[in-house]
Amino acid sequence: MTTMNPAVEKVLNNLEGKTMKLLIGSKWVEAQSGRSFETRNPATGELLCRVAEGDAADVDAAVAAARQTFEGPWRNFKPNQRQNLLLKLADLVEANYDELCVLDTLDMGVPMRRTLGNRHRVVSTIRYYASQAMSIHGETIENSLDGEFFTCALKEPVGVVGAIIPWNSPLYQTLKKIAVCVAAGCTMVLKPAEEAPLTPLRLAELCLEAGFPPGVLNVVPGFGSTAGARLAAHPDVDKVAFTGSHFTGQKIIQASAGNVKRLSVELGGKSPNIIFADADLEKAVPGAAMAVFNNAGQICCAGTRMYVERSIYDEFVARVAEFGKRMRVGNGLDPETEMGPLVSANQLERVTGYLKRGQEEGATAASGGSRLTDGEYAKGFFVAPTVFTNVTDNMTIAREEIFGPVISAIVFDEIDDVVKRANDTIFGLGSGIWTTDVSKAHKIARRIRAGTVWVNAYNVLDPAVPFGGYKMSGYGREGGIHHVDEFLQTKALILNTD
């Protein structure tokens, strides 16, 4: 196995023969069921370790711990104390960053060159939310009441939060949820994805090392149908923050009705990426390719519907296909790897099913179009970077979220037509526009029904900028003050001063 740095050997030695436990209160405990599940390297199929399988009883215990802390000592923590905890966590994440990147790579396959390159963004995200802990404020309100009254609006933490995260970016997704929760003064029960629980568990260790009081963060690995379902429906959870598929999101929305939980749900996408003939092709070609091939297409806002103006369609598609053919696909531990495997056998089956369906419906693979099985690929879940041509808007590959490295290249002629077609989807998470005409970009951006519109860039994220979806891509926002507000309640205070 290729080793990029000493962190690889250290992590593998730490995992070997172990069964990872749950974190409830400040203690690492076994699952009450006594069950555990395997987690394997998707590049090689090798067993990494076993993980305790939490279920409803463990979620109940974790929620009780979170509630006790929220109603007890945590309520007395001042904003600067919460800020200091996050700043300590940021320092620890930075000091252990290589190890965290190795865990992400081993558990879900992402190339280390990608996560190592995100060091600044990840660490600065924690520090951004540390600053927000000191920025929460209400407002005084002039009133028209008879008599002497003082009126104001206060901001208070929503309470116990159930956080359910996906497997496609464990490090970043976990830290975002933890950081905003602490900044707002909430406590949390975190349910990692069963496909990639190792990074969240290591981050929980760092949170304890940073001095998080017992019960502020609790981690219960397990399956969605048991641990996740109980967390979503739990009567003592005040809010659920979920990132994942729209199918699961719908179930969580239904489960939340029991106690009318606060919800923020960041769901899937089928994002349009529009390339005009006047675009700077030297930037647009790699930009459009990596809008999908980044993380093997396992990105919720991936620009998988690539609309290209007719006059440059053939040239542009050929160049994007060639870009995909030249990409180094392999084990994410190899520093030369540009695209790693899919996360699991189930995801491989899903993606290859769409590859077959696309060709059955008349699409042509200009590159890729199949699983990679030769040599080093034999035991892993690898799919070649794929560009489909001859795609129409009604094809399955142009309608449904594939969550793999698959681009549907679609031709367009007129602006009004491409805007209409771009919006003709149940989703509305991300979108892209490539043009050197700033006026045109502004006008089209206002008409696209999506939570984010990138112009001459794609998948560029900043912790101060809100991110979220329209339509079936969910509601609520992550990033910026909008994210913090999702974890706060507003209380009116009306005080008779006469």
Task: Quote the percentage of the chain above a pLDDT of 70.
Answer: 99
User: Residue 187 in 3-state DSSP?
Assistant: strand
**Spatial distance between the Cα atoms of 319 and 28, rounded to a whole number of angstroms:** 52
Answer yes or no: CATH 3.40.309.10 is held by domain 272-462: yes
Which residue is listed with tokens 């309608």? 399
411's tokens: 């031709």
Residues serving a catalytic function are 266, 300
Q: What is the pLDDT of residues 19-46, one digit of tens each?
A: 999 999 999 999 999 999 999 999 999 9
What are the backbone dihedrals phi and psi of residue 381, each rounded to the nearest 5 degrees, phi first?
A: -110, 70
What are the backbone dihedrals phi and psi of residue 146, each rounded to the nearest 5 degrees, phi first?
A: -70, 135
**Choice between 258 and 6, residue whose per-residue pLDDT is larger:** 258
Which residue is listed with tokens 């865990």? 103
pLDDT at 201: 98
Strand 149-157 and strand 139-141: the pairing is antiparallel
Q: Is residue 25 a contact partner of residue 65, using CB atoms and an 8 Å limit?
A: yes
Which residue is listed with tokens 């690492």? 28
CB under 8 Å to 76, separation ≥6 — which residues? none
**Spatial distance between the Cα atoms of 37 and 278, rounded to a whole number of angstroms:** 52
pTM, whole model, 2 decimals?
A: 0.95
CB under 8 Å to 266, separation ≥6 — which residues? 242, 243, 300, 429, 467, 468, 469, 473, 474, 476, 478
- Residue 278: exposure state from Cβ atoms within 10 A (0-12, 13-18, ≥19): middle
pLDDT at 7: 85
Q: Is residue 123 a contact partner of residue 94, using CB atoms and an 8 Å limit?
A: yes
Q: What is the pLDDT of residues 66-92, one digit of tens each?
A: 999 999 999 999 999 999 999 999 999
Distances from the Cα of 386 to the Cα of 78, 169, 354, 373, angstroms: 52, 22, 11, 15
Closest CA to 432 of 284, 320, 294, 297: 284
333's tokens: 């531990």
Q: What is the pLDDT of residues 258-285, one digit of tens each?
A: 999 999 999 999 999 999 999 999 999 9
**Spatial distance between the Cα atoms of 98 and 337, rounded to a whole number of angstroms:** 16
pLDDT at 6: 84
pLDDT at 297: 97
CATH superfamily of 6-267+473-492: Aldehyde Dehydrogenase; Chain A, domain 1 (3.40.605.10)
Q: What is the pLDDT of residues 452-468, one digit of tens each?
A: 999 999 999 999 999 99
Query: How much is the average pLDDT of 227-253?
Result: 97
pLDDT of residue 311 exceeding 90, the answer is yes
Q: Is residue 393 a contact partner of residue 327, using CB atoms and an 8 Å limit?
A: no
What is the residue-averaged pLDDT of the chain?
A: 96
Q: Note every long-range contact of 31-40, with CB atoms under 8 Å and residues 24 or more positions apart, other chains counting.
A: 31/55, 31/58, 31/222, 32/57, 32/58, 32/61, 33/57, 33/58, 37/194, 37/223, 39/107, 39/194, 39/195, 39/196, 39/197, 39/198
Closest CA to 367 of 440, 306, 302, 435: 306
Sign of CA dihedral 89, 92, 296, 190: negative
pLDDT tier for residue 429 given thresholds of 50, 70 and 90: very high
171's tokens: 């490090």
pLDDT at 3: 43
367's tokens: 């590159």
Domain spans of the chain, in order of start: 6-267+473-492, 272-462
pLDDT of residue 1 exceeding 50, the answer is no
Lowest mean pLDDT among 2-16, 318-332, 367-381, 382-396: 2-16
pLDDT tier for residue 498 given thresholds of 50, 70 and 90: confident
Task: Quote the percentage of the chain above a pLDDT of 90.
Answer: 98
